[in-house]
Amino acid sequence: MSDNAKCTFGDNLRLLENVFIQLTKPEPKLIVGNDVAIGRNTIISCKKLIKIGNYVRIGSFVQIIDHNHSFSKNELIMNQEAIIKEVVIGEDVWVGSGAKILKGVEIGRGAIIGANAVVTKNIPENAIVGGVPARIIKYRL
């Protein structure tokens, strides 16, 4: 955790082996709700805000990241500025193993993210998504 980092965990959090939480500058804030389970070898990397709602299940080897780097051709990659946008995961969401949830994404209540999906855009409530990039397959009934 870096300076100004804030981390809040709700009741009944289950973290399995080798979960890695990285809170780095400028002002990272991780908020995890009640009755959340986070699977083995998951990485949560936060520079601004990652919020995980109540009753969420996150599979193994998932990555949740609220930032990326710019990629101007006139600047070395190592010197590029970070692009930071919040990630919000609603209540009763299931994130399948190996999924990647990238910056600026909001996942609606009741959504299901398929295994190995790469989420680059907002996901509506009760949507079931999969693929790279993730697309809606159907909705929960």
Question: Measured between alpha carbons, how far is residue 90 from residues 4, 21, 74, 109, 125 in Å?
Answer: 25, 19, 39, 4, 8
Rg (CA), the chain: 15
Q: What is the pLDDT at residue 7?
A: 95
Q: How far apart are CA 38 and CA 32, in angstroms?
A: 10
Q: What DSSP character marks residue 47?
A: S
CB 34 within 8 A of CB 11: yes
Q: What is the pLDDT at residue 63?
A: 98
Q: How far apart are CA 17 and CA 15, in angstroms?
A: 7
Catalytic pick among 14, 69, 121, 135: 69
- The pair phi, psi for residue 79, each rounded to 5°, is -105, 5
Active-site residue 67, yes or no?
A: no
Beta bridge partners of residue 101, listed in sequence order: 64, 119
Q: What is the pLDDT at residue 32?
A: 98
Question: Measured between alpha carbons, how far is residue 85 from residues 49, 67, 100, 140 in Å?
Answer: 8, 6, 15, 28
- 5-13 long-range Cβ contacts below 8 angstroms, 24+ apart: 5/29, 6/30, 8/32, 10/34, 10/35, 10/36, 10/54, 11/35, 12/36, 13/37, 13/38
Q: What is the pLDDT at residue 3?
A: 80
Structural domains present in the chain = 6-102 (2.160.10.10)
Closest by CA position to 60, among listed 98, 109, 22: 98
Q: Can you give the pLDDT of all 141 residues of the chain as single tens digits?
A: 778 899 999 999 999 999 999 999 999 999 999 999 999 999 999 999 999 999 999 999 999 999 998 888 999 988 999 999 999 999 999 999 999 999 999 999 999 999 999 999 999 999 999 999 999 999 999
Q: What is the pLDDT at residue 23?
A: 96
